[in-house]
């Protein structure tokens, strides 16, 4: 039409997308890796044949006549929520290693090497370093090499500030020294080794009881019975039993690591079919934190024993003739029951 100008289509500029705009910070990931190198290398011994940064770890197995490998993997559950709320992440690394070491110890194995996995909503090099420094410290303490791991920034899966951890351990034991629960007999003694608190189980119930997700300030409350705050008590690291139990494994017929499921869920796992554990109520002191939890949440006694370790982190089955020697060798050990026959 005369006198009318032509209309021009104006294209909207297309945004150039990057990994960073999608929520993944490769530069921060690089910083985290640099921070971790010294911690990881501090766990290396001559059996580690590959440096950090390669696609796999290499470990030379030697010093065994007829080795059997023992492997386990685990996490620390929602205890990470307590660490996140308090801004204290180092002890989570200790929890992770100690839990896994205790698991393979039940077969008589000693740790060889460890790998970790950390998934985060947003990469925070300082937080990752704190976790891995705890892992490395625990590995050094048990003579275990930290030969690899993965740190994954996963926006949309985790919220910023959230993370989860998992550990993977491989140990070894001589074939003729594997702890075989078939040797356990009626009348064998059950010894309890004290826990250091909740260890890594029951935290979802604890968070609900104290309403910690909505009121994290409750972690700052100091309890006379505990001699410290609730948060400090809940972050107490999972106790490792390798140093105490390792030297006396030849006197041990069975080991039960008391984790999720408590005493009724874990001790039967190491007993031969037809046998049962008979515990003597009141034969060990239950730490104050469990009484606080039970009263505050009005939790039934049976549920407490099903969820928490109730003060026993490891239960040892042994012949009565070995009981006295084990009681002397294992700090804090107590006779807590005996093996009986199922009704």
Q: What is the pLDDT of residue 33?
A: 83
Could you tell me if 234 and 206 are in contact, meaning their C-beta atoms sit under 8 angstroms apart? Answer: yes
User: What per-residue confidence (pLDDT) applies to 285?
Assistant: 97
Domain-terminating residue out of 151, 177, 203: 177
Task: Examine the domain organization and report whether 268 and 290 are in the same domain.
Answer: yes
In a domain, 317, yes or no: yes
Does the residue 16 lie in any domain? no
Residue 290 forms part of a structural domain: yes
What total of structural domains would you count in the chain? 2
pLDDT at 17: 85
pLDDT at 76: 97
| Statement to judge: residues 185 and 85 lie in one domain | no
Helix runs in 69-227, H state only = 79-86, 90-105, 125-142, 203-209
- The reply to whether 143 and 204 lie within a common domain is no
Q: Which of 177, 195, 230 is the last residue of a domain?
A: 177
Provide the residue range defining the domain that includes 277: 181-341
- Would residue 20 count as lying in a domain? no
Q: Are residues 44 and 78 in the same domain?
A: yes
The answer to whether residues 185 and 334 belong to one domain is yes
Residue 172 and residue 270 in one domain: no
Q: Does the residue 1 lie in any domain? A: no
CA nearest neighbour of 105 among 259, 208, 1, 221: 259
Same domain, 140 and 233: no
| Residue 284 near residue 334 (C-beta atoms within 8 A) | yes
Check whether residue 214 and residue 287 sit in a common domain. Answer: yes
Predicted confidence at residue 23, as pLDDT, reads: 86
pTM of the model: 0.92
Find tokens 């972690």 and name the residue: 219
State which of 147, 177, 207 marks the end of a domain: 177
CATH code of the domain in which 197 resides = 3.90.650.10
**pLDDT tens across the length of the chain (343 residues):** 444 444 555 566 667 888 888 888 888 888 888 888 999 999 999 999 999 888 999 999 999 999 999 999 999 999 999 999 999 999 999 999 999 999 999 999 999 999 999 999 999 999 999 999 999 999 999 999 999 999 999 999 999 999 999 999 999 999 999 998 899 999 999 999 999 999 999 999 999 999 999 999 999 999 999 999 999 999 999 999 999 999 999 999 999 999 999 999 999 999 999 999 999 989 999 999 999 999 999 999 999 999 999 999 999 999 999 999 999 999 999 999 999 999 8
Instruction: Identify whether 10 is part of a domain.
Output: no
The answer to whether the Cα torsion of 222, 225, 231, 233 is positive or negative is positive
Closest alpha carbon to 306 in 268, 259, 271, 242: 259
> Does the residue 55 lie in any domain?
no
Do 303 and 239 share a structural domain? yes
Residues 165, 186, single domain; the answer is no
* Whether 207 and 227 share a structural domain: yes
User: Which CATH number goes with the domain that contains 136?
Assistant: 3.30.1330.10
Residues 268, 163 within the same domain: no
Q: Residue 81 domain-assigned?
A: yes
Q: Are the C-beta atoms of 304 and 310 separated by less than 8 Å?
A: yes
């Amino acid at each position: 039409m005369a006198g009318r100008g032509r209309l021009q289509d104006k294209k909207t500029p297309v945004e150039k997308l990057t990994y960073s705009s999608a929520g993944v910070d490769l530069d921060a990931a690089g910083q985290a890796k640099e921070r971790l190198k010294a911690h990881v290398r501090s766990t290396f011994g001559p059996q580690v044949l590959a440096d950090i940064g390669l696609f796999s770890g290499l470990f030379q197995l030697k010093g065994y006549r007829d080795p059997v490998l023992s492997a386990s993997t685990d996490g620390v559950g929602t205890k990470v929520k307590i660490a996140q709320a308090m801004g204290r992440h180092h002890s989570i690394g200790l929890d992770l290693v100690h839990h896994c070491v205790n698991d393979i110890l039940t077969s008589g194995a000693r740790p060889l090497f460890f790998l970790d996995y950390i998934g985060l909503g947003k990469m925070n090099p300082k937080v990752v370093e704190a976790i891995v420094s705890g892992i490395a410290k625990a590995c050094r303490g048990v003579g275990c090499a930290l030969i690899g791991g993965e740190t994954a920034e996963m926006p949309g899966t985790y919220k910023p500030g959230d993370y989860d951890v998992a550990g993977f351990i491989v140990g070894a034991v001589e074939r003729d020294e594997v702890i075989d629960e078939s040797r356990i007999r009626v009348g064998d003694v059950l010894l309890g080794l004290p826990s250091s608190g909740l260890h890594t189980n029951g935290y979802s119930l604890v968070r609900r009881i104290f309403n910690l997700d909505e009121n994290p300030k409750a972690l700052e409350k100091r309890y006379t019975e505990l001699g410290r705050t609730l948060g400090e008590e809940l972050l107490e690291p999972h106790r490792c039993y390798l140093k105490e139990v390792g030297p006396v494994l030849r006197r041990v017929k069975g080991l039960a690591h008391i984790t999720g499921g408590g005493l009724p869920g874990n001790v039967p796992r190491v007993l031969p079919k037809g046998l049962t554990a008979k515990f003597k109520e009141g034969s060990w002191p239950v730490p104050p934190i469990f009484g606080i939890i039970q009263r505050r949440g009005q939790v039934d006694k049976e549920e407490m024993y099903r969820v928490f370790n109730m003060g026993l982190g490891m239960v040892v089955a042994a012949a009565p003739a070995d009981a006295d020697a084990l009681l002397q060798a294992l700090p804090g050990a107590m006779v807590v029951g005996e093996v009986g026959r199922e009704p």
